[in-house]
Structure 1
Amino acid sequence: MTVLSTYAVGTERYFGLGPVPQPGVELLLHPLGTDELADLLPESGGDPDALTAGRKRIELTPEDRRMARPLPPLFPEHVGDALVSGFMMTHNVKVDAATPDQPTWFFKGLGDRLKLSGEPLAVPGDAVAVCEEAEIVLVYVGDATTGRPRYAGHTFGNDLTDIGRFKQHNGHLSYAKLCDAAISPSLHLGPPPTAVTGRTTIERDGSLAWEGSFTTGTDALHYDLDAITETLFSYTSLHHPGRVHYVYIGADRSSFHGGHTMTHGDRITLDFQSHAVQLTNSVTWTGR
């Protein structure tokens, strides 16, 4: 599967195509100039030759890679043109008699809520009990004419959640989700995976505090993914040309379910081992 990654080098933006970039190897990048990848993808059909045609490639050695700052997939020029949201209670392990036909959808914020690996994840200062959520993230772009979101690809992320607030009052889900979210910079150009496996580790003061495995993917969902996203994006209030949507589609059990109580400074690593993606972020309690 082709993977597309975007970088800022100085004031210019570049993109790379190939496998998920790994540390210690060179980067082969193509300049974007004034173009937006969100516009180029539908025009090219995701064909690598069409995407790179007429663009002079640059090569960054492992040492030079420090100049390249990764960006969230298809990240727009203005953070207000990116909307971060998701579905909750989507996985089979969380289904019960009260499970609705359409899962609850929530809003996390605009593009500035997305953080890359190595950046801290902020939660409100009065958060009750915080947990990580290893998830697939679907990326959609509003059609240039109709504004209706169109699927562009998927990536992986950490939907940090104040699960304690939700447990105290399930009507407060909207507040529980107002935490930062981690995201991988690599966009996978293909359908969402049926199976994803990985491992979570949480460190405190340099020592292991908790670890466990996770499973996700469309096979783990109680819902038909096409059906629930079709319902979501049937609402015209979400239609806007060029707007980029990052939709987190739910998680397996977390460290909270394993008995871990997260505190300020805990360091979370989500290793999506089946897809060679790793995210590491510390958690920071802040003001609202």
Structure 2
Amino acid sequence: MTATTGTTGTTGTSIVFECEYQGRRYAGHGLPQPGSPLELYPVAAGQLHAALVAGSGPQDLGPAVTGESAPAEVALDDPGLRFLPPLLPTAGDNSLINGFMGTHRTKFDRAPEPDEEFIPPNYYIKGFGSWLRMPEEPLLTPADPVWLLEEPEVVLVYANDDQGVPHYAGYTFGNDLNDIGLHLQKPWAWTPYAKLCETSIAPYLFLDAPPERVTGSVTIERDGAKAWYGDFSCGADSIFHRVPDMTEYLFSYPALRRPGLVNYLFLGADKATYHDGFRIEDGDRMVLDVSSHGVVLANEVRYWDRSAPAVPRPQ
């Protein structure tokens, strides 16, 4: 992959992103740089998806961004600008947030053998892609979480063609916020409830193979001050399972090969705040600094408002 340069700066691999601005959909290259305007190219909904499934791989997404239109320059702090999850379809029910659990090597009591038989890790479906939240947007949780846990993860993005064949688009990073306290009360039964916290994702799609090494840090801010800090790693070198085995097994299920479906596949996280005895509270700000890749994903935690109207009981 070649480096991407220009008003969005220089990156180690090609990166594309999509956004909305003044009611239109745009795309751009690279990671935004503070103080520099974004160069945005108008794109139709599904344009990058179509380029991916018609081409030979993620490298075909870069040229699909620019097309023949001249770019518009937009300030990064323009209030009319909102980034989008990579390849998010206009129809919100045709994309899926899902992922693996218990994948990291620190959660096993041994190292994997080179030719060890693949045993798939636990899996979950969290919701539609339209439920994903962007950096600096709040993440909503149930009103009474038992013990929240942030989870910095690599997110693989796949888009299915009209025959349901998955095409790998690239990777980004996400925070799979969940209620690990509830999960641990009944791991065999309550995990789906524990996952019903909102999830954030970075809009920047790295057009490269799943990363071998990803490192960074988590900072929990409370009332504007640092309340907790810790390092993390979430690349393939930190995962017990082989990533190709994980994806091949998952896409052997026909339900995930629905034509046109976009999959946001979370690869799992290492130990973090919960394992250090720290409790994330309402109003805390989680800052995930993926320093190895120049991406920061920050979101405030908000508990569900207890005063919200109750759901009527069926008569």
In 2, distance between residues paired with 1:284 and 1:63?
A: 25
* Alignment match, 2:180: 163
Distance 1:89 1:35 in 2: 33
Superimposed CA distance per residue, residues 187-239 of structure 1 (whole angstroms, 9 cap, x where no aligned partner)? 11111111111010001111211111111100111001111111111011111
What displacement does 1:50 show? 3.8
Matched residue SS, 1:108: strand
Whether 1:23 and 2:12 are equivalent positions in the alignment is: no
Whether the 8 Å CA contact 1:195–1:216 is kept in 2: the answer is yes
Contact in 2 for aligned 1:7/1:13 (Cα 8 Å): yes
| 1:82-106 per-position Cα deviation (integer Å, ceiling 9, x unaligned) | 1001100001001148x98110010
Instruction: Confirm whether residue 68 of structure 1 aligns to residue 81 of structure 2.
Output: yes
Matches within 5 A, 1:196-215: 196-215=214-233
Task: Give the AA of the match of 1:58.
Answer: P
* Letter paired with 1:11: G
The answer to whether the aligner puts 1:14 opposite 2:34 as a matched pair is no
Which residue number in structure 1 is paired with residue 262 of structure 2? 244
Residues 1:152 and 2:169 aligned together: yes
> In the alignment, residue 40 of structure 1 is paired with which amino acid?
A
Which of 41, 53, 66 lines up with 1:42 in the alignment? 53
- The 8 Å contact of residues 88 and 130 in structure 2, kept in 1 or not, is answered as no
Q: Which amino acid aligns with 2:168?
A: Y
Change (3 A) 1:43 1:211: same
User: What TM-score, normalized to structure 2?
Assistant: 0.85
Q: Residue 35 of structure 1: CA displacement?
A: 4.6
Name the residue aligned to 2:94: 81
Give the one of 43, 48, 51 matched to 1:32. 43
- Could you say what secondary structure the match of 2:274 adopts? coil
Q: Secondary structure at the match of 2:50?
A: helix
Aligned equivalents of 1:3, 1:127: Cα separation in 2: 36
1:2 paired residue among 6, 14, 33: 14
Equivalent residue of 1:55, what SS? coil
Q: State how many pairs are aligned.
A: 285
Which of the pair has more CA radius of gyration? 2
| Structure 2 CA distance for partners of 1:234 and 1:209, relative to 1, 3 Å | same
2:293 match: 275
Read off the aligned partner of 1:168 and give its amino acid letter.
Q
Q: For the residues of structure 2 that align with 1:43 and 1:184, how far apart are their CA atoms? A: 25
CA drift of 1:63 comes to 6.4
Which stretch shows the higher mean deviation, 63-72 or 23-32? Answer: 63-72
Gaps of 5+ in 1: none
Distance change (3 Å), C-alpha of 1:207 and 1:78: same
Q: In structure 2, what is the equivalent of residue 94 of structure 1?
A: 107
Partners of 1:263 and 1:33 in 2: how far apart? 40
- Offset of residue 43 of structure 1: 2.7
Q: Which range moves more in the overlay, 56-65 or 217-226?
A: 56-65
8 Å contact kept, 2:14–2:62: no
Relative to 1, partners in 2 of residues 1:54 and 1:74: Cα closer, same or farther, differing over 3 Å? closer
Structure-2 change in CA distance of 1:180 and 1:49 (3 Å):
closer
CA shift in 2, pair 1:198/1:54, >3 Å: closer
**1:126 Cα deviation (Å)?**
2.7
Range with bigger deviation, 120-129 or 218-227 = 120-129
**Equivalent residue runs for 1:126-145 within 5 Å:** 126-145=144-163
Per-residue CA deviation, residues 153-196 of structure 1 (Å, 9 max, x unaligned), is 11001010100011111112111111111100011111111111
Which SS does the other structure have where 1:47 is aligned?
Answer: helix
State the Cα deviation string for residues 253-282 of structure 1 (Å, max 9, x = none).
Answer: 111111111111111000000100001101
Q: Name the CA distance, whole Å, in 1 between partners of 2:246 and 2:61.
A: 30
Q: 1:101 to 1:48 in 2, by over 3 A?
A: closer
Q: Report deviation, 1:53.
A: 6.0
Q: Are the structure 2 counterparts of residues 231 and 140 from structure 1 closer, same or farther at C-alpha, using a change threshold of 3 Å?
A: same
**Map of 1:189-228 to 2, 5 A cutoff?**
189-228=207-246
Larger strand proportion of the pair: 1
Distance 2:141 2:226 in 1: 22
Deviates more, 1:37-46 or 1:220-229: 37-46
C-alpha distance in 2, partners of 1:198/1:192?
17
Q: 1:47 to 1:235 in 2, by over 3 A?
A: closer
* Amino-acid identity (%): 41
